Amino acid sequence: MGLYDFKVEKSDGELESLKEHQGDVLLIVNTASKCGFTPQFEGLQKLYESYNGKGFKVLGFPSDQFMNQEFDNQEEILNYCQTNYGVTFPVYKKVNVKGEDKVPLFKFLTEEKKGMLGGEIKWNFTKFLIDRDGNVVERYSPQTKPEKIEEDIKKLL
């Protein structure tokens, strides 16, 4: 199974096939609104604005699995991201990104690119860079600021 075989739930509850992003360079990120890394939304948005017209997308997947740092309500999540960081990139329905209940997309991502301490995601704002063919080319730790990924994105564009 490849990246484009997955369907994800949009914030409005509708399913979206990742085939819609085939041919794009993607940065898939597990996010949280009340985390020490939350200011990274600003850098993610800047990347999205800079390269969206060139075939680059940021896909945000909120998760509440790390010390309950995400709002319960999907509307609150979207409002917070838009109001505080001007987020216009897609923010999907809150998901589980680790453990037995992790969604299939994150099972795939963590199997394709294991972290320094194994496959499981350890914290919010773990980032996966995907090339135009749907290959997971890099995994970045939560501490890696979006600006540090820009050169890698440019190489794939």
At 19-49, the pLDDT tens digits run 999 999 999 999 999 999 999 999 999 999 9
Q: Name the fold adopted by 30-156.
A: Glutaredoxin (3.40.30)
Asked if the model's pLDDT at residue 106 lies above 90, the reply is yes
In whole angstroms, what is the distance from residue 121 CA to residue 16 CA?
23
- pLDDT confidence of residue 117: 58
Asked if the model's pLDDT at residue 77 lies above 90, the reply is yes
Check: CB of residue 123 under 8 Å from CB of residue 140: no
- 3-state SS class at 74: helix
**2 to 15, 86, 136, 138, 143: CA distances (angstroms):** 17, 31, 10, 16, 27
Percent of the chain at pLDDT above 70?
97
Asked if the model's pLDDT at residue 150 lies above 70, the reply is yes
Alpha helices, H only, the chain:
40-51, 74-85, 104-112, 150-156
Mean pLDDT across the stretch 120-133?
Answer: 95
Closest CA to 6 of 21, 18, 20: 18
- 3-state SS class at 135: coil
**136 to 4, 7, 86, 97, 106: CA distances (angstroms):** 12, 17, 27, 16, 12
Asked if the model's pLDDT at residue 118 lies above 70, the reply is no
Per-residue exposure over 43-59, b if at least 16 CB sit within 10 Å of its own CB, e if not: bbbbbbeebeeeebbbb
Q: Which of 18, 29, 32, 35 is catalytic?
A: 35
Asked if the model's pLDDT at residue 120 lies above 90, the reply is no
- 3-state SS class at 102: coil
- pTM equals 0.95
- pLDDT confidence of residue 153: 98
Asked if the model's pLDDT at residue 99 lies above 80, the reply is yes
Asked if the model's pLDDT at residue 119 lies above 90, the reply is no
Give the pLDDT band of residue 1 (cuts 50, 70, 90). confident
Q: Domain ranges for the chain, please list them.
A: 30-156
Q: Is 81 a catalytic residue?
A: no
Percent of the chain at pLDDT above 90?
94
